[in-house]
Amino acid sequence: MDLMYQSTRDNGKKVFASQAILQGLSSDGGLFVPETLPHLTLSMNELSAMSYQELAYEVMKLFLTDYTEEELKDCINKAYDDKFDTTEIAPLKKAGQTYYLELFHGSTIAFKDMALSILPHLLTTAARKNNVKDEIVILTATSGDTGKAALAGFADVEGTKIIVFYPKNGVSSVQEKQMITQKGDNTDVIGILGNFDDAQTGVKLMFNNKELADRMKNAGYLFSSANSINIGRLVPQIVYYVYAYASLYKKKEVSAGEKINFVVPTGNFGNILAAYYAKCLGIPIDKLICASNENKVLYDFFSTGRYDRNREFVLTSSPSMDILVSSNLERLIYHIAENDSEKTAELMKALSSQGSYDITEKMKEHLNDFVGGWADTEKTKKAIEKVYKESGYVIDTHTAVAASVYESYATNSGDKNKAVIISTASPYKFSENVLKAIYQGEVPEDDYDQAELLSKLSGTNIPSAVEEIHFAPVLHKKVCEVGKMQKFVEDILKII
């Protein structure tokens, strides 16, 4: 029997996993959720003897039931190969009394690689299974990180093209360099003379343009998106939570059945939702600690039951978590409403019309697995400094938000469970702010000089992703005005 997916806003429609991956979002605006949550029946002894790839198969096959064993293993092996700089894929490090699950060993040195390395393969396999013959065109607007991870994932994947729009003057110089040096005949990167919202709006207009869709179809193209609400991004993220527990067990750091906590630096709520699904699989997880920066909508939600986006947007030192609408929270809302799609639709309508909603007392009771916390930029900096001073280990600004939140939580709650902090980016990706926290002297201005200094202080090698952009030639020079985005897409695809 296949596990079917249904929309959080309409229980009536059911689709196979591969169809949910192809569609991305349900046509009613809801997100696809599994009809029931599966259980993992393998023992920890069995799981801890597996490689990352073997374990990925055991977890993913429970969710993506309409993929054959051969198809799924093929996707996994193409994704988690030597693009990662360690065969462990997601190594677990111990610093002091705390564990860090390093999810930044892929090609763009941030955790989005964990899902975006496999999504292109899941997507092209889904197209084949559903007899979609069109070439898939991924259109993405990015504020920095997602764009590069999607480019790296889709580059030279047969049957796909990827076009990324980014705000020309709105990303960091490392982020821009990473994108405009991207190789691959099927990749295009365009800087727009506007901000991220302009890029996002332009992309949405193209997605909703029926006339354009018809011309695309005639030319043999189909638009798709790589954003984080696709279950093809969510499911691969469940794997590393199971892997982290299995690694602790293998190292004899936990005894059979011992419960642990996960601390997750959160933005769009995708990563921590995957941890929740791992708990539902039966992995001994107690608390899921949701760490936010100054944009602490989620902290307020977990403390009051009220979600309210009506507030000022704050630019922080952890930019990938600067977000006021955490899209994936809709899935948790649906689960805590006991799969009530009408209730979920009602709350999401309130969110889009008033920017806020309140959950019921009954729903609140189902939130016991979660603890919210937040840290401002100063505390984040202190956390980087403290971890470095105590253990010599260097963490990035996003991971540091989680480290800071965890320290307050452990002190205030007295919770003695072991904790794993999810490390979402390499410190080399945010070297300036990291250096400001651990280095007393003057921080050099040039990115590469910063990387060299960081390497010296941390005793780690400069990742090849950073080496590469230092020498790589610029391959993408297109710049466009906000109103001309569609024209650029039509030119790239040669459609008239």
Ligand X SMILES: *Cc1c(COP(=O)(O)O)cnc(C)c1O
Q: Is the CB of 247 or the CB of 316 nearer to ligand X?
A: 316
Interstrand relation of 187-192 and 285-292 (parallel, antiparallel or unpaired): unpaired
Q: Is the CB of 40 or the CB of 298 nearer to ligand X?
A: 298
Active-site position among 13, 61, 94, 112: 112
Burial of 234 (0-12, 13-18, 19+ CB in 10 A): buried
Is residue 317 within the footprint of ligand X (CB under 6 A)?
no
Q: Is the CB of 247 or the CB of 320 nearer to ligand X?
A: 320
φ, ψ for residue 318, nearest 5 deg: -120, 70
| Neighbour count for residue 250 (Cβ, 10 Å) | 16
Residues touching ligand X: how many (CB under 6 A)? Answer: 17
Is residue 270 within the footprint of ligand X (CB under 6 A)?
yes
Rounded Cα distance, 128 and 139, in Å:
20
Please select the residue that binds ligand X; options are 234, 398, 407, 410, rule is CB under 6 A. 398
Looking at 107-115, 205-213, 358-366, 410-418, which segment touches ligand X (CB under 6 A)? 107-115
Is residue 269 within the footprint of ligand X (CB under 6 A)?
yes
| DSSP output for 141-208 | E-SSHHHHHHHHHHTT-TTEEEEEEEETTSS-HHHHHHHHT---TTEEEEEESS-HHHHHHHHHHHHT
Looking at 48-56, 110-118, 333-341, 450-458, which segment touches ligand X (CB under 6 A)? 110-118
- Is-contact 309 324, C-beta < 8 A? yes
Looking at 79-87, 105-113, 211-219, 410-418, which segment touches ligand X (CB under 6 A)? 105-113
In angstroms, give the least distance from the CB of 469 to ligand X: 17
Looking at 165-173, 264-272, 339-347, 444-452, which segment touches ligand X (CB under 6 A)? 264-272
Is residue 268 within the footprint of ligand X (CB under 6 A)?
yes
Is residue 320 within the footprint of ligand X (CB under 6 A)?
yes
Q: Could you tell me the sign of the dihedral formed by the alpha carbons of 181, 185, 187, 190, in that order?
A: positive
Q: Among residues 37, 48, 39, which one has the least CA distance to residue 256? A: 48
Is residue 144 within the footprint of ligand X (CB under 6 A)?
no
- CA-based angle 197:330:223, to the nearest 5? 50
Is residue 266 within the footprint of ligand X (CB under 6 A)?
yes
Is residue 263 within the footprint of ligand X (CB under 6 A)?
no
CA atoms within 13 A on the CB side of 213: 10
φ, ψ for residue 313, nearest 5 deg: -85, 125
Is residue 271 within the footprint of ligand X (CB under 6 A)?
yes
Which residues between 418 and 477 bind ligand X (CB under 6 A)? 424-425
Q: Is the CB of 161 or the CB of 381 nearer to ligand X?
A: 381
In angstroms, give the least distance from the CB of 103 to ligand X: 9
Edge-to-edge strand ranges of the sheet holding 285-292 = 92-95, 98-102, 418-423, 260-265, 285-292, 370-374
Q: Is 112 designated active site?
A: yes
Residues annotated as catalytic (active site), given as ranges = 112
Give me the residues that bind ligand X (CB under 6 A), please. 110-112, 145, 228, 265-271, 320-321, 398, 424-425
